[in-house]
Amino acid sequence: MAWKGIGIFDSGVGGLTVLKEIMKTLPQEDTIYFGDSARFPYGTKSPDTIVRYSHEIAAFLSHRDIKLLVVACNTASAMALESLKQQYDMPIVGVIEPGARRAVTVTRTGRVGVIGTEGTIRSGAYTKAIKRMNPEVEVLTRACPLFVPLAEEGWVDNDVARLTANRYLQGLKEEGVDTLVLGCTHYPLLKGIISEVMGEGVTLVDSAEETARTVAEILRGRALLRPSAERGNHHYFVTDVPAGFIRIGNRLFGGKLGDVFQVSLDDPELAGRGAVHEES
| Catalytic annotation present for 184 | yes
Cα separation, 8 vs 57, whole angstroms? 10
Catalytically annotated residue among 151, 184, 238, 260: 184
Among candidate residues 13, 3, 2, the one with its CA nearest the CA of residue 237: 13
> Cβ neighbours of residue 128 under 8 Å, at least 6 residues apart?
none
123 to 107, 161, 239: CA distances (angstroms): 22, 26, 26
Cα separation, 198 vs 169, whole angstroms? 7
- According to DSSP, the β-strands at 203-205 and 111-116 are unpaired
**DSSP count for the chain of H helices, then E strands:** 11, 11
Helix (H, G, I), strand (E, B) or coil at 253: helix
Question: Do residues 236 and 19 lie in contact, with contact meaning Cβ atoms separated by under 8 Å?
Answer: no
Cα separation, 56 vs 5, whole angstroms? 18
> Cβ neighbours of residue 232 under 8 Å, at least 6 residues apart?
5, 23, 26, 27, 28, 29, 30, 31, 226
DSSP, residue by residue, 158-208:
SHHHHHHHHHHHHHHHHTT-SEEEEESTTGGGGHHHHHHHH-TT-EEE-HH
Catalytically annotated residue among 73, 137, 150, 271: 73
| Catalytic annotation present for 144 | no
The residues carrying an active-site annotation are 73, 184
